[in-house]
Amino acid sequence: MEEMVDKTSGTKPNGLEPLKVYWQPGCTGCLRMKEFLTSHGVEFISINVLEDPEGCQELVRLAGRRVPIARRGDDWVDGQVLSDLARIAGISLTPWRPLSPPELAQRVDVILAATQRYCAQIPEASLDRLLPKRPRPYRQLVAHIAQIIEAFLDLVECQKRLEHPAYEQEVPRDATNREQLIGFVAAIQQRFDNWWSQRGADTDFSVPADVYYGEQTLHEFLERSTWHACQHTRQLQLVVENLGLVPNGPLTPGNLAGLPLPSHVWDDELAFSTSETEAGVV
């Protein structure tokens, strides 16, 4: 049974510390964390670490600069793991049945193909525009989508533990123009397809995945990688639309069905503002 929360302060009636959540715009896990808490009627203090220096320092003392993080007093969790988030928020978690690994692999193909199509529509001169309220250029968003899947492949092919910096990489040095950037995404897609065709069917997805954010099975990590990349591809589609273009093959409800995606594409508190993007406002 869910616990009641004071609507004004975020403090529980039993006197526990208020729940604080640390996030930044465009962060897929941050948005899902906030929507999850809101959907369960849990009040929280919202801290955008890019605009709140004091809150950012609190975050650094807790967990470095990584988000999403939820905190109640001295207790904190990574908001990417809903079971941990539910515990600290006092939520009774409903079991979730993820898509099967073959279904997830098929979605990865759809997502990476869409990323390449949308990147091809963005004028070369626009690739260095910044996302609104976030110091991430469009070209880095494109690379990040592929790097999410690359990090999954590095774990299953090379036994390389997932650390947070894998999600904070710069654009590859050999992807200096749009065609090279598309080529980078295509190469990751081909690598994923090769892994799946050669080893996917024989992989035990119930084993633990060596990831920084908590206890996860390989199945859960594949699902997380898939919806993480998908959410950013939805954002890339929004970029194309905000440039006044019609997305080439927009993602369909069928492409999204069964993935634990946030309902918003960019953020639940901030709008995606083209004028800020064009002006280079961070």
CA atoms within 13 A on the CB side of 141: 32
Q: Is the peptide bond before 68 cis (omega within 30 degrees of 0)?
A: yes
Question: What percent of the chain stands above pLDDT 70?
Answer: 91
Q: Domain limits of the chain? A: 19-89, 101-279
Say if domain 19-89 classifies as CATH 3.40.30.10. yes
The three-class DSSP label of residue 65 is: strand
Say if domain 101-279 classifies as CATH 1.10.3860.10. no
DSSP string, 94-130: PP--PPPHHHHHHHHHHHHHHHHHHHHHS-GGGTTPB
Asked whether the beta carbons of 114 and 233 are under 8 A apart, the reply is: yes
Asked whether the beta carbons of 239 and 228 are under 8 A apart, the reply is: no
Which amino acid is present at 106?
Q
**Looking at residue 63, what is its pLDDT?**
84
The three-class DSSP label of residue 75 is: strand
Report the distance separating Cα 257 and Cα 130, nearest Å. 29
Residue 4 pLDDT greater than 80, yes or no: no
Give tens-digit pLDDT for 186-221. Answer: 999 999 999 999 999 899 999 999 999 999 999 999
Provide mean pLDDT across the span 76-90.
95
Give tens-digit pLDDT for 216-275. Answer: 999 999 999 999 999 999 999 999 999 999 999 999 999 999 999 999 999 999 999 765
